[in-house]
Amino acid sequence: MKLTSVDAPEFPRTLYTAEQTRQLDKRAIAGGIPGIQLMKRAGRAAFEQLLQRFPGPAAITVYCGGGNNAGDGYVIAGLAAQRRIPVRVIAVGDPQKLTGEAAEARDYALQEGVDVNALPERGPEEGVIVDALLGTGISGEVRPAYAEAIAQINQSALPVLAVDVPSGLNADTGTEMGTAVRAALTVTFIGAKRGLLTGRGLALCGELVFAGLGVPEAVYAEVPGECHRFELAEALAALPARAVDAHKGDFGHVMIIGGDTGYGGAAIMAAEAAARTGAGLVSLATRPEHVAPALTRRPEIMVCGVTSGQELEPWLARPTVLVVGPGLGQSPWSEQMLQQALQSGLPLVLDADALNLLAAQRPAVAEARDNWVLTPHPGEAARLLQSVTSEVQRDRFAAVAALQKRFGGAVILKGSGSLVATPEGPLEVISAGNPGMASGGMGDVLSGILGGLLAQGLSVDRAAALGAGLHAESADLAVGDWGERSLLATDLIPALCQLLQAEPGHV
């Protein structure tokens, strides 16, 4: 997703809920900015972005609902009329029932000669559509009249600008509330809403532009956000610089445990990712039949074939970090591997079937601990929470917070707009990534990256956020060479190396 800001160098780092954004709005008004002035600024910001993105529109059709979001739409319609651009408003509900600033905006549009019509049987066939139907106030399923308008917008195949939030998208959770507008461009105001950057938000917003509307910084200081957008350049600074006289023992030893029969490739990819992330030593404990392929693929990795937990135990004396799960399977062998890893007391990264075994209490239920990173996708998260995937996706923020509270350490809830919850600091949203990541092995590469970062001395908190960010940014870099349809997990590794070139230099 492309993120930009009209009045700042970059899209904001702090993300807000809808209620927090309303608090910002109220405090800005109390501080001396009239509400109608904020509405006019919002409408103008959106209108200017419309003309930049879709210059010379043949017509503009503004769909307006019954709240302040509609007021922004009426301002846009009035500005279009002033420019002599053919414009009309399609009102869902009675526009005469608008109150406050929204009613003032409606009157302004009428004074400029804008036609206001009820929802027609057929939508527009040319120009640009402006979605000003629902905004941030939605809390339940989209009502039928609005659902009909949204369907008409989506069926038009015309470019759509969404005002503040695509109608039908929950600004707090990123959930589609039954149906939602698919926008090419979303201009959001005052507070950057966290739901726009995860779940369905990334798919529905299109390009996302932030407009602060001149709200003073002092207002933001009064409403601290509890969620941040991850920024790679800042996080890379957490990687310690390498001394000129450094040796491999300074950068830890990662052991990958996985690769049950038929799944050897997953563990090999994780091991290679750990090595490329900068771990001093990387070893792999896997089924004996995978030893030769692993050494052929990457001879720098130390590979041991183990057939039981008893055979694995002596090998656990040397590693400083364990990554358990890539290709692990759910066989008795898998359980023994996980059991030994849990008993080691070493820092852990758990992924894939290690999480499924944990959820199934195989072996015994693990206590919460502060030295591990869990990396579930929504299905695995649901199993860990004894829930269902749809519930996890209904509120990804609540799910990742619940996982972190239950299991401790750091939790990365993967998916569109991955979320990172840690014991300290705000929840982080990874807005990078692309649909090309929907292929086998991506999670194995992430696990290896995380292991490599932990081995180099990063805390669980920092490793989780940086690892998830590096993984997503590597995919965005690699997709330029391979395209979304052809992207493979191992394609991320050269891109990962390129991103890591930005780390601090020698000391």
For 172-211, write each residue's pLDDT tens digit: 999 999 999 999 999 999 999 999 999 999 999 999 999 9
Cα distances from 303 to residues 118, 145, 252, 285, 298, in angstroms, run 70, 62, 17, 6, 10
Q: Residue 81, Cβ neighbours under 10 Å: how many?
A: 21
Which runs of consecutive H residues, i.e. helices, occur in 54-143? 68-82, 100-111
For 404, the enclosing helix (H) or strand (E) is helix 396-407
What distance in Å separates the CA atoms of residue 504 and residue 507, rounded to the nearest whole number?
A: 9
Task: Write out residues in the chain with pLDDT < 70, as ranges.
Answer: 365, 502-507
Query: By the 8 A CB rule, do 261 and 334 touch?
Result: no
What distance in Å separates the CA atoms of residue 264 and residue 234, rounded to the nearest whole number?
A: 35
Which of 306, 321, 343 has the alpha carbon at shortest distance from 459? 321
Query: By the 8 A CB rule, do 119 and 92 touch?
Result: yes
For 145, the enclosing helix (H) or strand (E) is helix 144-155
What distance in Å separates the CA atoms of residue 202 and residue 376, rounded to the nearest whole number?
A: 20
What distance in Å separates the CA atoms of residue 274 and residue 346, rounded to the nearest whole number?
A: 16
Query: By the 8 A CB rule, do 53 and 268 touch?
Result: no
The number of residues in the chain equals: 507
Query: What is the DSSP track for 324-365?
Result: E-TT--SSHHHHHHHHHHHHH---EEE-THHHHHHHTTSSSP
Q: Residue 7, Cβ neighbours under 10 Å: how many?
A: 12
Query: By the 8 A CB rule, do 86 and 117 touch?
Result: no
What distance in Å separates the CA atoms of residue 274 and residue 500, rounded to the nearest whole number?
A: 13
Return the amino acid letter for 402: A
Q: Is 291 strand, coil or helix?
A: helix
What distance in Å separates the CA atoms of residue 429 and residue 397, rounded to the nearest whole number?
A: 10
pLDDT at 506: 44
Query: By the 8 A CB rule, do 360 and 346 touch?
Result: no
> 418 has which bridge partners?
430
- Token code pair at residue 58: 């043949």
Query: By the 8 A CB rule, do 326 and 266 touch?
Result: yes
pLDDT at 507: 38
What distance in Å separates the CA atoms of residue 240 and residue 458, rounded to the nearest whole number?
A: 8
- Token code pair at residue 264: 């050897």
Which of 275, 411, 304 has the alpha carbon at shortest distance from 348? 411
Spatial neighbors of 24 by CB under 8 A, at least 6 apart, are: 16, 190, 191, 215, 219, 220, 223
Cα distances from 454 to residues 99, 445, 486, 494, in angstroms, run 56, 14, 30, 20
**Strand residues in 336-440 grouped as ranges (E):** 348-350, 372-374, 410-413, 418-421, 427-430
Return the amino acid letter for 348: L
Which of 364, 353, 185 has the alpha carbon at shortest distance from 266? 353
Using alpha carbons only, how large is the chain's radius of gyration in Å?
Answer: 26
pLDDT at 458: 95
Query: By the 8 A CB rule, do 441 and 327 touch?
Result: no
Return the amino acid letter for 389: T
